Every structure is written in structure tokens, then in C-alpha cells.
Structure 1
Amino acid sequence: MEERPVGTFLEASDGAISFEYDKAAPAVPISLSLPRGGGWPRRSPSLLLDNLLPDGENARRAMMRASGAEGMDAFSLLDGADSSGGLVFSLGEDYPASFGPILPASADEIGTRIANMRESPDSWWDHDSRIRYSLAGNQPKLSLARVGGVWTWPNAGNPSTHILKPSVTATADAELIEAADMRLAGLAGLSVPQAGVAEFSGERTYITERFDRKRLADGRVSRIHMEDLAQSLGIGPEDKYKVSAGQVLRLLHTADESDALSYSWLKRLALNTSIGNADAHAKNYSVILAASGLSMSPMYDVLTTTYWDWVDPSLPMKIGGARYAQQVTASHWAKLARANGLDEEHVVAVARETAGAVLAHADEAYRDLPADVHDKLMERLKDANRHINPIVPQGTDAEASASATAI
């Protein structure tokens, strides 16, 4: 991390993976699940690595074939790869500061991979051992590095700067909707990276800058260390939908007894609830770990999933027992606060004000969308905030139309 050794993962003969911090490692842990003082559960190191890889076996097999890795295990796939956060992994003794030449990525090459993703989500890796990156999750996506105004392929020595996510048939127009929802989150007062829609040789895709990267004055890119909440909790990616809001709040309170981190996260949870994002699981929130302290990352994967009628609308994390966004009231937020020792009035205000900001700025965020997409999204937002009694900013058009009543 930051071009210095921080520790070693070791695999035993029985396949168990352990971790040892380097004596010169900084005081900041590489994960909340691997505290500097030790004493973590036996599986925590392996689960941390597993969360850096794609969820599906087919995607991991494609990674193995494309990169020339010896196997589908984390050691093989993460060796020399560009992955999320600030950690870089090497099977050798040296930090892989240089991993071969920086390879330009032409618009045609990128467009071809995007097209391949639409046809077969696991077929978009082309064989080249010098291109190595890993992105977690189920959705097909790729990462690129912008170097000197030129798109290039990433690896351990060339940190990616952007992530591309094209829509597939089942989620048509997802790239347009996610870009608009990210604008909405920013207008509602949340921290978001730059994001939008781009085309490569006629192939359209959602594109976002990475918030876990920083461009230095000399033009180089450095990595910022962060981890998603599944890594923080020490669970595997297969359990990301099983995490409750209470579990997250207990974790964040342990890490920050002032609860500033907890309130910051609750605003993110409120945003996802208010836009009807029924896919906001534990891996869709991240913590930045820095010497200056812990903070919640900017938002990402912000998407009104209820736009598609086939998507299960139930929330991954219930709000005070409410399973669906349109059921959530101020009382449910108060119940969640009370159960976790937080200020009820503060939490309720955060939820209602976030809902109000979403409704107030939705038309502006969605203005460039096709009319049918715009109108359906607006209906979904009204439905998601049906009973929260939103506090709409004064002087906005949405204030006049806010007629929902708390239950």
C-alpha cells in the first residue's frame, strides 16, 4: 500500500489463509476486519481477498484465462492486478511498481469489449497477461486508466481511473438512469464522483471516475485505500444481501464512538431508500481508511432498480422493520435510531430532508432522459417517498406538490 509493504497473506497446506502485518506497516489497518492488534476470526483474511474478485465462477474463470493466471484462487487472480482500494498484491518479494509497458486502449478495442459484454457477460476479457484488473460484483464491467489524455489498460503498476458499466438486455437504459441518479444524489447533498454516459465506437456505456484514486501533481495516479462493508464486517460476497442496517451501525459505532460515521452512512441509506434502490447491499457502501481517520466513501452504484418491473422491490436492509421503500415512515427511521442508540430526531430529520431533496431535484437530474424514462422514474420516486412526509427545500416546485402524510 502506497508503494510500501504492509503485510503478507499466507496459504497453509489445508488451504486456510492467514495474514501477518509487516513490522513497518502503518497504524491504519488494511481492513476493519483485520485490526492491527490481531485476534480476528480465522476466515477473515480469505474473505477480504474474496471480496475483491467478481462474484461468479464464470467471470473468475474468464479472468484466469485472459491473464494467464495459474488458477481461479485469489492468490493467482490478484497477483499484479489493479483492484479496488489501495492494496496491491504480488506473489513475488517486490512491490510490482512496474508491470510491463503501459498499453493504450483504442476506442475500437473498448467498444468491442462493451459489445461482447452485452452478448455474453463473461466473454469480454481478451487474453493479454499485461492487462490485469479485478472488479467485484455480478454486473459485467471493466476498468480503464486515463494517462496523458489517452485511455490505457490497467494493472498493478498502472492504476485504473475509471469504471465502465454498459447495460444489458434485462436492464435497458441502465447507463442513462444510473448517470441521472448519480446527478440526483449530488444535487441532494451527497458526495459523488464524476459520472456520465460515454460512447466508444458507437457502443454506449455508463462511466464513472474512481473515488479510490487520486491524480498527483506530476500526472501520476495513486491509490486511496478503502473497503466495502462486506470486507469491514468480515463476511463473504455471497452474504452481502444478509447484512442488516443494525449490523452496519454496530460496526460503525465500534469504529467511531462519536457516531459521526453512523450518521454519515444513514444519509446514504436514506438516499438509496428514497430513490427506490433495492440493490443497495453491504458491498454498495465503502469506508475510506486513512491516517487522518475513517470516513464514508462517496456514493456509487446509485440506481433506481424499481424502474424495471421484474426487479424484487424489497430493500436489502429493512428500515425499522419496513421491507419496502413505500412503506417507510418517520416512525420506522425513529425505531432504527432507537434500537442503535442514536438521536431519533436527528435520524428522522436526515431521512425526511433527504427525501425532500430527492423530490425537489429529480426533475433537474432527469431532464435529459427520454420522456418515457423520465416520467416512469418520477412515478417511482413518488411511490418510494409515499409515507415519509418529506421536508422539501423551500421555494422549489416540489414543495407545492409534496402532499404525502406521515403514518
Structure 2
Amino acid sequence: MTQPSDNAFVWAWLPGAVQPVVAGRINRLGNGYRFIYGESYLARPDAISLYGPELPIRSGWIDPPDGMEMAGSLWDASPDSWGQRVIIARLTGKQGREADAVNLDRLTFLLESGSNRIGGLDFQVSATEYVARADGATLDELHAAARALDEGELSPALAAVLVHGTSIGGARPKVTLVDGDKHLIAKLTMSTDIYPMVKAEAAGLELARRVGIDVPPSRVITSLGREVLLIERFDRPGPGERRMVVSGLTMLGYGDFLGARYSSYPEMLDVLRQRSKYGEGLGKQLFERVVFNIAIGNIDDHARNHAAFWDGHHLELTPAYDLAPQPRSGGEARQAMDIGRDGSRDSQFVVCVNAAQDYGLSRAQARDIIEYQVVTIRENWDDVAELLRLTLVDKNALFGRQILNPYASYDLKL
């Protein structure tokens, strides 16, 4: 097993650049990790902060924000639970429940995950030589390895293949792919899925397009006899380029999911308005996403499932992602983030109308947005289901349960 490292060098793709430069160093200090910009980086005329609010560009060590082990903008580039399971399996051989007892340190996860991670950062053991942990496997190879891990039968050889494609967050299996000049995220079907999760998310993305929400191109294909959702990456604007990205969790100043209980859409909007180049329309844009999450039954809309591009000076909302209807047996549900400043989270459109002023909207404007989305989803559902080849059973499992569950419209006549 790899010995924990006390240092890692942070390499960054500056805006418009096709090659990374070393920006600074992470150093373990007690139970936390501090950061320092390199003097050569500070001397660059094009140097930018990795995220100004917590890592302002200056000399000297920068401690993590209070209550956090590491600056959120650095930890945003880490793999989440799925990717961590892959790394644990490769380094320790432990899988399934045995892996739950393994505690690896944060630098190990950053240094052992693939280099084609979300955003514009990577982590290396060297300050002078950048060596990418490259993606070289095919989708079928990655899919086979993911299935083996899911079944507790991941071999060392398959683990070595899988880790390079697994440098992104999330609880479900997903891998990164490069297809020519396109960078893709492949979301995989699990044997334990109780309903078609991959096609459900594909439906969420397609419905989002039809109501006018900005989402990346996507399509469903088949690999090893199972559906795979391919999504084009929005953090790869051109050949060799990468865009820096920070999560909603980082924007709100929280370091992990314990902060989710305090997360709030209006407070995230406050941050975006403060640091966005163009503040006009942000409230309506975010409000539309809240309404849509309720409309399709996506209650996994926690702060790490929202993000913004960072160019060193300004934030800009990324396209929406992880728009997946969630399994749901009954009616009542709550969103993962506060919808209004009063702390309301009930997954109901009336809550959105009552919170309209928090987004700079009138109640009438809020109702118009809700009505437009509901009508558009209803009118397009059959076409979307046909496009994705949903069976009648799948359609019935989604529509009226997850998508446009009656609970969403209680107390609000449309």
C-alpha cells in the first residue's frame, strides 16, 4: 500500500492555455492541509487565484477555511465515493463492506486518481515535471472493471485500468473518456438498480433542454449489454484546454456534506451575484433549475451538484448536470437545499412561488415559469420516452411518481 504523502504540487491550466503550470503546493499540517503559491507562479503576468475567496493570490502559507481540512476549491477536484472505492480497491484490495473500514488521507485520493479530473487542476508529486495519469482504456474495458467492482470481484489489473478513468465525483459508477477531440463522462448501469437510472437521467437532461435549461449534449448507448449515458464535458472548451470549476459547496464555504444541511439556493445566488461578471438574470436562471428539479423529482440537488466556472476574477454558472429523477415510493419529498430564505425545502411548486422574491421575481413570474415547465414536460414526455426507448413499465415507473409527482402541485392550481 502507498505510504501517505505530506505534500502534493498543484498544477493548473490557466485560461486559454493548453499546458498546465505548477501553481503551488499542498502541505499536510496536523489534521489539515495548507497551501502556498509558488514564487515562479506569482511572478507570472497571467497568474490567477485558484479561487479568490479562500485562496487569494499572495505569498505565504494559506490555511484552510475554519472548520475545513482543505480548501474546497482543491478538494472539488477529488473523486467522490465511487472513485474513492476504486482507489481503495487498487491500493488495499478491499472491496464492498471491507472497503468501508479503510481510511485513506486526502492527498492519497488526489494523487492516486486519474489526471483527467473535473476542472482545471491536477496534482503531482513533482514541481518540475508534469506526468499525466492518462485515460487509455476503452468504454467496454472501463465498464467491465466497474461491473467487477460492483460485484466485489475487481482484480488488480482491472483496478489499474479503472482508476485512470475514475477521477470524478458521485456515488454512482461513472468514468471519464476521450473520444477524438471530445471529452466525455460515461454514467453506468448498476446491477442493483431498481429502475432504469441511466435512462431516467437521460430523460431529465432531454426534458431540461426542452424547457430551455442549459445542459451539455448527451446520448444513451449500449456497452456490454447495458445502457450507458454519455455526457459531453463542459469543462473542456477546446483541444488541450481546461476550465477551472468550483462547486456550490465551495461557493457556500462548506467543506463536506455535513454542510449540506445548511445549504441554500438563495445564499448560493448571493455568492454568484457578488462574483459574477453579469448578474442580470441569475435569479431567474437559478429559480428555473430549482423548479425543474422539483418537476422531475430530483431531490439529490445538493450543493456539490451545482458548480460555477472560475476565471480568476468571476464566477459563471456551469450548465446544469446530475438532473436525475430519484427513486420515490410516495408523495412527500424535500429538496437537498433550502429553496427560500425561510428554510423551506418541501418539493412543491407553491414553495417556489412563496420564495420568488428571494430570486428577484414576482409571484406571477414564478407561476409563469412553473406553468411553462409543467406544460412542456407533459407535452414532450411521450416523445422523450420514445427517443430513449423507454418501455411502458419504465414510463409508468417514472411519470407521475418521480416526474410531475402530484405532491409537487399541491396547493398550487396551474
**TM-score, length-normalised on structure 2?**
0.75
1:246 matched to 2:266? The reply is: yes
Is 292-301 or 185-194 further displaced after alignment? 292-301
| Distance of 2:104 and 2:45 partners within structure 1 | 29
Residue 333 of structure 1 is matched in structure 2 by: 352
Tell me which of 169, 179, 185 is aligned to 1:146.
Answer: 179
Residue 222 of structure 1 is matched in structure 2 by: 241
SS at match of 1:193: coil
Residue 17 of structure 1 is matched in structure 2 by: 33
| Distance of 2:396 and 2:209 partners within structure 1 | 20
| Distance of 2:136 and 2:35 partners within structure 1 | 36
Amino acid at match of 2:119: G
Report the CA distance between 1:61 and its aligned residue: 5.6
| Distance of 2:72 and 2:154 partners within structure 1 | 23
1:301-380 to 2 correspondences below 5 Å: 301-306=322-327, 308-309=328-329, 313-320=333-340, 322-325=344-347, 327-329=348-350, 332-339=351-358, 344-367=363-386, 368-380=389-401
Unaligned ranges ≥5, structure 1: 150-159, 390-403
* Structure 1 residues 107 and 87: alpha-carbon distance in aligned structure 2, compared to 1, 3 A threshold: closer
| Distance of 1:240 and 1:144 partners within structure 2 | 31
SS at match of 1:161: strand
* Structure 1 residues 118 and 14: alpha-carbon distance in aligned structure 2, compared to 1, 3 A threshold: closer
SS at match of 1:314: coil
Report the CA distance between 1:282 and its aligned residue: 0.8
Report the CA distance between 1:229 and its aligned residue: 0.6
1:75-90 to 2 correspondences below 5 Å: 75-79=107-111, 81-90=115-124
Amino acid at match of 1:127: A
Report the CA distance between 1:231 and its aligned residue: 2.1
* Structure 1 residues 82 and 108: alpha-carbon distance in aligned structure 2, compared to 1, 3 A threshold: closer
Report the CA distance between 1:258 and its aligned residue: 3.0
Report the CA distance between 1:302 and its aligned residue: 0.9
Residue 188 of structure 2 is matched in structure 1 by: 165
Report the CA distance between 1:301 and its aligned residue: 0.9
| Distance of 2:377 and 2:155 partners within structure 1 | 37
Residue 393 of structure 1 is matched in structure 2 by: none
SS at match of 2:77: coil
1:72-221 to 2 correspondences below 5 Å: 72-79=104-111, 81-94=115-128, 96=130, 98-99=131-132, 104-106=136-138, 108-120=140-152, 126-127=159-160, 131=164, 133-147=166-180, 160-216=183-239, 221=240
* Structure 1 residues 254 and 281: alpha-carbon distance in aligned structure 2, compared to 1, 3 A threshold: same
| Distance of 1:184 and 1:229 partners within structure 2 | 23
| Distance of 1:200 and 1:345 partners within structure 2 | 46
SS at match of 2:214: coil
Amino acid at match of 1:41: P
* Structure 1 residues 111 and 333: alpha-carbon distance in aligned structure 2, compared to 1, 3 A threshold: closer
| Distance of 1:247 and 1:309 partners within structure 2 | 31
Amino acid at match of 1:355: V
| Distance of 1:311 and 1:31 partners within structure 2 | 40
Amino acid at match of 1:63: I
Report the CA distance between 1:4 and its aligned residue: 4.1
* Structure 1 residues 202 and 312: alpha-carbon distance in aligned structure 2, compared to 1, 3 A threshold: farther
SS at match of 1:382: coil
* Structure 1 residues 267 and 121: alpha-carbon distance in aligned structure 2, compared to 1, 3 A threshold: farther
1:272-287 to 2 correspondences below 5 Å: 272-287=293-308
| Distance of 1:209 and 1:122 partners within structure 2 | 27
| Distance of 1:121 and 1:129 partners within structure 2 | 13
The answer to whether the 8 Å contact 1:178/1:302 transfers is yes
Amino acid at match of 1:136: G
1:53 matched to 2:99? The reply is: no
Deviations 1:59-87 (A, max 9, x none): 5364155379xx93332332363211111
The answer to whether the 8 Å contact 2:216/2:319 transfers is yes
Amino acid at match of 1:262: G
Unaligned ranges ≥5, structure 2: 1-11, 14-18, 93-102
1:232 matched to 2:255? The reply is: no
The answer to whether the 8 Å contact 1:66/1:128 transfers is no
Report the CA distance between 1:273 and its aligned residue: 1.3
SS at match of 2:316: strand
Residue 405 of structure 1 is matched in structure 2 by: 413
Report the CA distance between 1:164 and its aligned residue: 2.6
| Distance of 2:140 and 2:80 partners within structure 1 | 28
Report the CA distance between 1:115 and its aligned residue: 2.3
Report the CA distance between 1:28 and its aligned residue: 5.0
Is 197-206 or 316-325 further displaced after alignment? 316-325
SS at match of 1:81: coil
Amino acid at match of 1:313: A
SS at match of 2:164: coil
Is 315-324 or 33-42 further displaced after alignment? 33-42
Report the CA distance between 1:190 and its aligned residue: 1.2
Is 184-193 or 283-292 further displaced after alignment? 283-292
| Distance of 2:363 and 2:294 partners within structure 1 | 18
Deviations 1:173-210 (A, max 9, x none): 11111112211111111111122222223233222221
SS at match of 2:216: coil
* Structure 1 residues 122 and 88: alpha-carbon distance in aligned structure 2, compared to 1, 3 A threshold: same
* Structure 1 residues 343 and 11: alpha-carbon distance in aligned structure 2, compared to 1, 3 A threshold: farther
**TM-score, length-normalised on structure 1?**
0.76
Report the CA distance between 1:222 and its aligned residue: 2.4
Q: How many residues align?
A: 369
Report the CA distance between 1:123 and its aligned residue: 7.9
